[in-house]
Amino acid sequence: MILVKQKSDILGSFASSLCLVHCIATPFLFIAQAGSATCCDGPPLWWKFMDYLFLGISFFAILWSTKTTTLKWIKPVLWLNWSVLATIILNEKLELFHLPEAVIYIPAIALVMLHLYNRKHCKCASNKCCVNEG
């Protein structure tokens, strides 16, 4: 667990990247499924819940990253993008209002880039030099 907390930006980048791949692959899954209409009515249940898995992983990655970053501005920006991503995912599930499908890529790509930027900024010889004391 300590290793995960120390590498939270890598975990966050990885989870956001997988989320992005999942979002890109979903339309292709629907196209493939339409070609074989004899199978099922919708995507598999495990595919639908991957959104929540990635959202949960990214939540903890952001939580750990914001505890160890020295960049004060990155904390609210990470949480803002996570909130936008969560809102978009919940909106897709609940169908509250129409949004273009491509809008989900914006916060997902932003989270990848922010985690990578935070990781690059916080290069230290020891584990404590990146911890924000304030």
Chain segment 53-83, per-residue pLDDT in tens: 888 888 988 888 888 888 889 899 999 999 9
Percent of all residues in the chain with a pLDDT value above 90, rounded to a whole number: 15
- The whole-number pLDDT of residue 3 equals 47
Measured between its terminal Cα atoms, the distance across the chain in Å is 24
Which has the closest alpha carbon to 108: 133, 81, 129? 81
| pTM for the structure as a whole | 0.67
Highest mean pLDDT of the ranges 4-13, 31-40, 80-89, 95-104: 80-89
Chain segment 26-56, per-residue pLDDT in tens: 666 655 555 555 556 666 677 678 788 888 8
Lowest mean pLDDT among 21-30, 85-94, 100-109: 21-30
By residue count, the chain amounts to 134
